[in-house]
Amino acid sequence: MESLEKVCSAVSQCKLCDLHYFRRKSVCGVGNPAARIMIIGEAPGTKEDEVGKPFVGRSGQLINRVMNEFGMSRDEVYITNSVRCKPKAGTSPKTREIKTCSPYLKAEIGLLKPQLIIPMGNTAIRSLGLIMDRKLGKISGISGKFFLIGNYLISPQFHPAAILRNPKKLEYFRINLGRAFEMARHLTADLSQEFLKANRIEIL
């Protein structure tokens, strides 16, 4: 797919898995096509299914608050999902659904070439690992860490929906996501070994 518009067109027409039977709207990625930061969510929720855009509900509001706190806005990032249609209520995307949607995410990454990718939640981590042929682990063990895969810096974070269910982790989430945004300000095309070491970035 040669452009983000063509990716979105393919997403909008996609009927490759059973989730399309239940959706109101499939959800395309949105944001700055020249963004240095890509945020990857898991799958649309009820609000996203209605609107057709990612992170427009309470989870998105939490991300917006943290971005604003660290001097950033949604105009500076590109936000997308691993799975583009809303799963059944109370369920997480299945492996086959993640695999079916992964070419769309792979195309977006290839077109944007973001310097920093922030996968939020286990589904996003699994999808990114599938695309990059790496095993990143589960979010409970890697949240807040930084990994370098090829030219991409990866900063896994808890999904904001999990934080909303467990407000005790809000400060942890805020600090780690804020670190990722601060890191993005200092990224250059070629990361030196000194930079990697100073920021405890693991090369995979």
Q: Interior CA angle at 168 toward 166 and 174, to 5°?
A: 100
pLDDT higher than threshold 80 for residue 90: no
Query: pLDDT tens, 133-181?
Result: 998 999 999 999 999 999 899 999 999 999 999 999 999 999 999 999 9
Mean pLDDT of 185-199: 78
Residue 180's pLDDT is 94
**How far apart (Å, rounded) are the C-alpha atoms in residues 12 and 115?**
27
Query: pLDDT tens, 106-127?
Result: 999 999 999 999 999 999 999 9
Residue where the block lists tokens 């583009």: 84
Contact (Cβ atoms closer than 8 angstroms) between residue 17 and residue 99: no
pLDDT band at 184 (very low <50, low <70, confident <90, very high): confident
Whole-number mean pLDDT of the chain?
93
Backbone angles phi, psi at 31, to 5 degrees: 130, -165
Q: Is 95 exposed, middle or buried (0-12, 13-18, 19+ CB in 10 A)?
A: exposed
Residue 179's pLDDT is 93
- Own/partner long-range contacts of 133-137 (Cβ < 8 Å, ≥24 apart): 134/204, 136/204
pLDDT higher than threshold 80 for residue 49: yes
Of 135, 41, 119, nearest to 86 by C-alpha is: 41
Q: Is 170 exposed, middle or buried (0-12, 13-18, 19+ CB in 10 A)?
A: middle
pLDDT higher than threshold 90 for residue 198: no
Of 10, 204, 196, nearest to 107 by C-alpha is: 10
Residue 187's pLDDT is 79
Residue 189's pLDDT is 67
Strands in 152-154's sheet, in edge-to-edge order, are: 30-31, 77-81, 37-41, 116-119, 152-154, 146-149, 201-203
The dotted CATH code for 4-203 is 3.40.470.10
Residue where the block lists tokens 């999990």: 162
Residue 196's pLDDT is 79
pLDDT higher than threshold 90 for residue 132: yes
